[in-house]
A and B are shown apart, each in its own frame.
Chain A
Amino acid sequence: MTIRTAFEIALLVLSLTLPLMFAALGFLKLSREWRSRRYDQLVEETRPLVMAALDAPTSIDLSGRHGAAAETIAASLLPQLRGADRDNLANLLEQGGMLPQARQGLRSRRAARRQRSAELLGAAGNRRATAGLAKMLDDRDEEVRQTAARALGRIGDPLSVPPLLVALDLKRVSAHTVSMALLRIGSAGADELTIALASDSPRVRAVAADTTGALGLIAAVPTIEDLLTDENHTTRISAVRALGRLGVPTATPTLIRRLQHELVVPSLTFDEDYARALITSLGQIGERSAIPVLEQSLMRSYRLSSAAADALSEMGARRAQHSNHESLDSEDRRTSDSVPSEMSDETRDGVASTVTQSRTPQGNNLS
């Protein structure tokens, strides 16, 4: 056989194969579209059944061909619902075998399946999944770990607080995701959070301080005060922020001492973010004893002076509110009247001017 003949045969085979390949591709595409349409139709058929089952969960069987469609609908609905309907929907999924399947799915070899299962279990608030999801915080896939942490937050079981904090310490899950999960778990995890304030890990201490502040766990105030001199910058600021949010007046003397100390330290070791956080927190707590140190801060950098002006203004506005003053009609008048009356005239004018500047575009350019 000559080379020419071999080439001709190859060309013939190719010319016969190509149309077949195109036909096969077209068939695959059509079949995928048909399956997708059939599934959409099944979802449409299943939707009224799911809705009816919310009022009478035991009367409708959603296993069988409606099962997968019911899972799709439930996964979309569950995060948007609360109350009895959410509980009924979760019960329906448990009885229909979807939640048991999802719990098994947490051990799937496919990351997408593990993630989907975690999402469904979290949305359903399925406490039986807590242990499985806690193990997933060490998953090899980062997205799966983040999803597991979010799911644990939605479930709200306080038993998941320690594994979440371990995942935070080992940097397996982001601080933001862990914080959000801890906030969702809420005061049920208060004991574990208070213990975490004394953790060896600065990441854990910082997140624990922020969370205790946001949750209003006043019993943790003495431990948070100890963190004001923490070796870690982020932890110190989180502790200050937490005390401000908690608004406990007994924390004021400690915050004042820290701010006074910051205002006299040499410029090389001066921590402006920390000082600014102290000023803001003193303003949030609103004790009059903080006024002198806030006045002192007015003489510092633009960032500190504007924070101090805002803090003094906030204190004045709150006092004005308490006194049931009439609402004021002009910006200038509001600014000058919202400054606490204990201040000297000179300081009152200074604060009013700084607040006005910080509220105008020109004022923002001063930095």
Chain B
Amino acid sequence: MSRILIADDDRDICELVSFKLAALGHHVIVEHDGEGALAAARTESPELIVLDWMMPRLTGLEVCVALQTDPALARIPVILLTARAQDADIQRGFNAGANDYIVKPFSPRVLASRVHAMLARVSH
């Protein structure tokens, strides 16, 4: 079982993703804005973060950059889950430190598989 932080201002998406990941046995922490996500990353020590881009207070990209600049958090893998699908956006996402990028509309089952694969990679 892994601790996974999900940050998205859309409550339905949060509920769906956390339902899918909880069903796989993960412990899920949910936040609805960037500041909350950053604070939870510091206090809850998640093993992976699923991050929306467009969020109030801090954007997902700003959270990514903040995570990268904090040595204690820089190693936490981040999956960006966003509706921004342009090549330039995807490049910006990876440049900000994201380890994977999923474009909405998305398949929750595929997201769960990617989470699983990333956790397996990190644990080795």
Contact = CB atoms under 8 A, between A and B. Distances in A.
B70 interface: no
A47 interface: yes
B112 to A, nearest CB: 10
A73 B106 contact: no
Interface in A42-80: 47-48, 51-52, 54-55, 73, 76-77, 79-80
A82 B107 contact: yes
B15 A48 contact: yes
B105 interface: yes
Given A83-B109, A84-B107, A85-B107, A55 B23 contact: yes
Nearest to B19: A51
Given A47-B12, A55-B23, A85 B105 contact: no
B108 A81 contact: yes
B106 A82 contact: yes
Given A55-B23, A76-B10, A84 B109 contact: yes
A80 B106 contact: yes
B23 A76 contact: no
Contacts of A73: 12
Interface in B106-122: 106-110
Contacts of A85: 16, 107-109
Nearest to A52: B19
A86 B13 CA distance: 13
A114 to B, nearest CB: 24
A80 B108 CA distance: 10
Interface in B83-105: 83, 104-105
Nearest to B105: A82
Question: Chain A: interface secondary structure?
Answer: helix
B107 to A, nearest CB: 3
Which of B104, B105, B107, B110 has most chain A Cβ within 10 Å?
B105
A86 B109 CA distance: 11
Given A55-B23, A76-B10, A81 B15 contact: no
A77 B16 contact: yes
Of the candidates A47, A51, A52, the one having the most CB atoms from chain B within 10 angstroms of its own CB is A51
Contacts of A54: 16, 19, 108
Nearest to B8: A80
Contacts of A83: 107-110
B19 A81 contact: no
Contacts of B109: 83-85
Interface in A209-262: none
A217 B1 CA distance: 48
A155 to B, nearest CB: 14
B22 to A, nearest CB: 10
Contacts of B10: 76, 80
A292 B21 CA distance: 60
A254 to B, nearest CB: 30
B79 to A, nearest CB: 15
Contacts of B16: 51, 54, 77, 81, 85
Given A54-B108, A76-B10, A77-B13, 12 more contacts: A48-B15, A48-B19, A73-B12, A76-B12, A77-B16, A80-B83, A81-B16, A81-B106, A81-B108, A83-B107, A83-B108, A83-B109
Interface of A: 47-48, 51-52, 54-55, 73, 76-77, 79-86
27 contacts: A47-B15, A51-B15, A51-B16, A51-B19, A52-B19, A54-B108, A55-B23, A73-B12, A76-B10, A76-B12, A77-B12, A77-B16, A80-B10, A80-B83, A80-B105, A80-B106, A81-B16, A81-B107, A82-B105, A82-B106, A82-B107, A84-B107, A84-B109, A85-B16, A85-B107, A85-B109, A86-B105
For the complex of A and B, the 5 pairs showing the least CB-CB separation, nearest first, are: A83-B107, A51-B19, A82-B105, A80-B104, A77-B12
Interface of B: 10-13, 15-16, 19, 23, 83, 104-110
